[in-house]
Structure 1
Amino acid sequence: MHKDLFVRLERFYDAVPRDAARAEEHGGLVLFVRDGAGWPFYSRPRLDAAATPSLADVTAVRERQRELGLPEALEWVHETTPDLLATARAAGLSVLEAPLMVLDPARLPDPATLTDVPVRVLDPAADGFAADVAARRAVAAVGFSAAGTARGEAGPAQRDDAVTELDVAALDEERARIVDGRRLSVLAGTAEDGALASGMAMRVDDVAEIAGVATLPVARRRGLGAAVTAALARELLAAGTDLVFLSAGSEEIARVYLRVGFRRIGTACIAEPTALI
């Protein structure tokens, strides 16, 4: 069963960028290059590659990413391409081995049982949609700048400072992807404090990945991350999604997702250049 599941995941990873980026093949790797503004994509093993990407392939992709001014990002699933871990490290990359988890729908709780903070799905037809998208991104920026699940000082003031105005093209893309079912966004917050946690999901046919789940440090340990994840998962299942998965940033964060009905099935590898001290 896991073999078929990993095949579906690989097809998903390959499909997500293709409507917003062009694909360049470098040996056993494919590099997705976005045309225009937006979140830069990754390089991954090619679906049809006959062999594990080589050190030369990794070097070529990194040179091309530098040439284009892109992050030197390489991602793969360890169970699908196990030999790439040693190759990436030999190339001088630092590799995050993130727990790869899939949802057991029977164990998914009601988000309302996880926190007393209201959770809502973003509506692309609402007057406040632009502000909601900007808030979702700002919460993520602040939340991910303080990794982990521990409480901290950063809160609504830091979120507001991180808000940036979206250009028309970015907002139109966000709206279109929600309307056609390829994206889903959620905010958790109160009228007094505004958005405290956020998350999103990307969907291709009947497979979806939950990503970007973040909570302002000052609001942590209140069940917000779990509630956001559960709300996204419930919406995805209601839309006919058959496979819902995510990658946890650490074993500590993975425990949050265990509460929501996810179980670990493998390891998602995310490689980037080793930071210089």
Structure 2
Amino acid sequence: MDIQVQRFAVTNLRRRPVVVETGGFVAGFTPDTDNPYLNYATPLPGAEPNEQEVAALIGIFRERGLLPRLEFAPQAAPAVAPALRAGGFGIEAVHEYLVCTPHTLMLPQSSGSPRVESPTTDEEFAELDAVLAEAFGGAFTPSAQGAARLRRTQQSGGAVRFVRDSQGGIVGGASCSPPAEGTAELSSVGTRSAYRGRGIAAAVTAALTEAMFAQGAGSVWLEYSGEGSRRVYERAGYRPQGTRLYLSLPPAQQP
């Protein structure tokens, strides 16, 4: 699964508005933000970069005033992490990823499960963007660009889902990338703090996963942020498969 996830990561980055490829790396950039989670690189499976290729990659980020940063499945390119560490990169995080297949997917059975919807209006995309910004504790700020990215995800073959409260306001949601390489990535599962524990995350996770299988994906994968969220995903049929490594070059190490 590591190779498939890494191939997906490469294809998904090539969908970014600005793409630069150098020395076995693909870097994808989003011009309307300097958010490091929207501007990063990933290696081709099996890449074996040398010192000059790592330096060239750093230069691509520096000329844009961005943090040199990578996300990848290390087992799919075992030579990459040592080469980056030798170039001064440090580990931001190691995240386990979970995978669901059509055989393991478990849909909510309760008639009281939250009703899941797809956004259609500018107002719904904007409200969902604001909800996700709140749910992730300020990791990003709500913006017209964020709402537009959610809309593009849905229009390009991915999916976006949300749940309302009894007054009609959006209280949680998530998005899933368009499928590639036989799989898709589910991300940004978020619920407003006052509404957690009500099955909202489980409902949108199951709905998005089912939607990707209906489009022909053979699997859907995601990363989780804590044991609580992991249990939610496991109840939906997600199972551990591997790890993803996040590396960045601290400013003090940049030449």
| TM-score strictly above 0.5 | yes
Is 1:143 the equivalent of 2:135?
A: yes
Kindly report which structure 2 residues correspond to 1:98-117, keeping only aligned pairs within 5 A, or say none.
98-111=95-108, 113=110, 116-117=113-114
Cross-structure match for 1:131: 123
Is 1:119 the equivalent of 2:116?
A: yes
User: Is the Cα–Cα contact under 8 Å of residues 111 and 227 in structure 1 kept in the other structure?
Assistant: yes
Gaps of 5+ in 1: 124-128, 148-161
Write the distance in 1 (CA, Å) between the matches of 2:63 and 2:123. 35
| Percent pairwise identity | 26
Cross-structure match for 1:266: 242
User: Is the Cα–Cα contact under 8 Å of residues 210 and 244 in structure 1 kept in the other structure?
Assistant: yes
Kindly report which structure 2 residues correspond to 1:76-225, keeping only aligned pairs within 5 A, or say none.
76-89=72-85, 91-111=88-108, 113=110, 116-123=113-120, 129-145=121-137, 163-166=142-145, 171=148, 175=151, 177-181=153-157, 183-192=158-167, 194-205=169-180, 206-225=182-201
User: Is the Cα–Cα contact under 8 Å of residues 90 and 250 in structure 2 kept in the other structure?
Assistant: yes
Among 217, 226, 230, the residue aligned to 1:254:
230
Write the distance in 1 (CA, Å) between the matches of 2:9 and 2:67. 18
Write the distance in 2 (CA, Å) between the matches of 1:250 and 1:259. 15
User: Is the Cα–Cα contact under 8 Å of residues 100 and 238 in structure 2 kept in the other structure?
Assistant: yes
Report the CA distance between 1:240 and its aligned residue.
Answer: 2.0
**TM norm structure 2:** 0.80
Query: Does the residue aligned with 1:122 lie in a helix, a strand or coil?
Result: coil
What RMSD in Å do the two structures reach over aligned CA positions? Answer: 3.1
How many residues are matched? 246
Among 25, 28, 43, the residue aligned to 1:32:
28
**TM norm structure 1:** 0.75
